[in-house]
Amino acid sequence: MTALSIRELASRHWFYLLLPVWLAASWSLRGAPMWNQQPKLGEAIVLFDWCIFMPVLFAVCYRDMPRRALALRMLALFCGGIWLAGQIVPPEAQDLLGFGAGLRWVGLIVLLLFEAAAIMAMLRIVFGAAPSAAALERQGIPPVIARLMVLEARFWRWVWKRLTGK
């Protein structure tokens, strides 16, 4: 990779460069004295950062993504943010997180239903009469992954034909 392509990649996917920095900053709060003085404020800060701020940053970074795919990824980040906040906030300071756990399960069920529908659509495209990488890309799958999926489907068709003698 050249320096230009690395710079272009970093400018296009800056969210993933920011993520470890934000995680390290949040994890450093774990031992902060604020948990003894103002536990609700600390919990609110961590929940805001991981359940609102990070999904919004993701949306800003990937605003060109199809709306449905962006919404699902933001929902996944929200659910992951609730889990991560549960890891960062000490157990004795967890007040709002009890309510958030129920929201997380609802969000995960919604994600599971959408993922099941996406898998069914993907399987129809990949194992249909003429697998098309372009059709997979329209479903929100990255181009490289779409091409690999079509290649894998062709491989398994070839194996099946060899095994059955057709």
**Tell me: the pLDDT tens digits for 119-158?**
787 777 767 777 777 877 777 677 888 888 888 888 888 8
Q: Which of 58-62, 87-91, 136-140, 156-160 has the lowest mean pLDDT?
A: 136-140
Which pLDDT belongs to residue 151? 86
- 23-35: pLDDT as tens digits: 998 888 887 787 7
pLDDT for the residue 98 = 77
Q: What is the CA radius of gyration of the chain?
A: 21
Give the per-residue pLDDT at 54: 95
